[in-house]
Amino acid sequence: MQVRISGGARVALESAVVTHGLPYPQNLESARRMQQAVQESGATPCIVAVLSGTPCVGISDAELETLAQYPAPSKIAMHNLGIARAMQLTGGTTVAATVYLAHQAGIEVMATGGIGGVHRDGRDLSGDLPILARTPALVVCSGAKAILDLPATREWLETYGVPIIGYQTDELPGFYTPHTGLRVDATVYDVDALIDLWRAHRTLGTAMLVVQSPPAEYAIPRAEMDALLERALRECAEAGVMGSATTPWLLKRLAELSDGRTLRVNLALLTANARLAGQIAKRLGVAGE
């Protein structure tokens, strides 16, 4: 592993959103916006990726641009991280692989859009969840990806000791929408309160999720989002899309059905989450922790 950026207030950023979450050039735009938001908060962004088999904590802008346009990049999680190293693959790291590599590099704060979770068929579980259950990391997100079973994901996190802290919200957001009806474990309204909760929790050995709603000017009402999801899921099943191809297919179809609104809210929440993560990392750095 190469740790390109060491010391100071650092925020880890996943790269699977670049390689598999958004189309080009929006993927490159989103990554640069996240980096800028972290920097404006007084912290240092560290995009985590695997380049030619080498896990890198921090990549250059030229490497980021290459990754954003890389032909057939790998989606690298924990189950294939060793394979990627041995086969010298290039690709984006998921939340799980990013949290793992960031922890190895001494970074405790990460920002993303939405974590993986329990799939709606109940038969599949994202590899993000087990890593969150055994890694002390503070992960800023807007809940789990909307295409998942959110109540089951909420229950799994509770069962395995991962608290959900709402930043200026008392509900677990639904990624594109602020409302799901699912309660968080605690609500705070400023960064200092988040830091206090993190100090109390981090010795327990599991992650802590800090969730905030998507920016209000871009958020999609819950009823409208539910209708879009129902149609996209039905069409996905009819098209016979399965496995790792499901999420990219659904995200693309949701963008089409919403005339690009889901894409716009995705970009907005990624930036907002990076900004909050930067503020947290900066505050931790000032405290010398």
Tell me the angle at which helices 261-286 and 246-257 cross, rounded to the nearest 10 degrees: 120
- CA distances 107 to 7, 46, 103, Å, are 9, 9, 5
- E strand residue ranges, the chain: 2-3, 10-13, 44-51, 54-57, 74-76, 91-93, 109-111, 138-141, 164-167, 186-188, 208-211
State how far the Cα of 175 lies from the Cα of 211, in Å rounded to an integer.
Answer: 10
State how far the Cα of 160 lies from the Cα of 86, in Å rounded to an integer.
Answer: 32
Please count the other Cβ atoms lying within 10 Å of the Cβ belonging to residue 79. 11
Structure-block tokens of residue 163: 């608290």
Q: Does the annotation count 252 as an active-site position?
A: no
Q: Does the annotation count 14 as an active-site position?
A: yes
> Minimal CA–CA distance to 141: which of 103, 179, 104, 109?
109
Catalytic, out of 29, 40, 108, 145 = 145
Catalytic, out of 14, 108, 171, 282 = 14
For residue 33, the SS3 value is helix
Give yes or no for a contact between 3 and 47, defined as CB atoms under 8 angstroms apart: no
Tell me the angle at which helices 191-201 and 261-286 cross, rounded to the nearest 10 degrees: 70
The catalytic site residues sit at: 14, 145
